[in-house]
Amino acid sequence: MQRVLEKMASKLNAYDEASLMQLWQHYAEIVHEFEPTRRWEEAAISLCLIQAVHWKNQLFNYNLALTASPQDAGDMPPLPDYLSLKTKTETDQSPAGFKNKATVLAFPPRSGREED
């Protein structure tokens, strides 16, 4: 199982993030409209994988920027605070370099099911 996961990660890591992100909306639309099918399940996994590559690249860039020399750091935008629990309204500005925030999919409760 571990070898299979590592092989999948290696293949996925070889793809360009920009190309993957072009598919984000496609998979998000499929996942948003639930249907109990293998197609929906695979779309949900594909969406998660795209998000995982995006998150990995953000984390990589963040950590790489931490290792930059002080002379180089002066030319760089401020680092986003990934570890903070503050919301955008609490920080009053979005991190530099981020044009669009990610869309959070709302999953409404299923009808006919009592809320816990």
On whether residue 60 sits in a domain, the answer given is: yes
On whether residue 30 sits in a domain, the answer given is: yes
What's the domain range around 48? 2-69
Q: Which residues of the chain have pLDDT under 70?
A: 69-107, 109-116
pLDDT at residue 34, rounded to an integer: 92
Number of domains in the chain: 1
CB atoms < 10 A from the CB of 52, how many?
14
Rounded to two decimals, the pTM is: 0.58
pLDDT at residue 64, rounded to an integer: 83
On whether residue 116 sits in a domain, the answer given is: no
Per DSSP, the residues of 89-102 read HHHTSPPTT--SPP
On whether residue 101 sits in a domain, the answer given is: no
Q: Which of 67, 99, 65, 68 is nearest to 79 (CA)?
A: 65
- What distance in Å separates the CA atoms of residue 72 and residue 82, rounded to the nearest whole number? 21
pLDDT at residue 90, rounded to an integer: 44
Going 65 to 73 to 100 to 25, the CA torsion angle's sign is negative
On whether residue 107 sits in a domain, the answer given is: no
pLDDT at residue 113, rounded to an integer: 55
Given a contact cutoff of 8 angstroms between Cβ atoms, the answer to whether 115 and 109 are in contact is yes
On whether residue 48 sits in a domain, the answer given is: yes
On whether residue 12 sits in a domain, the answer given is: yes
On whether residue 100 sits in a domain, the answer given is: no
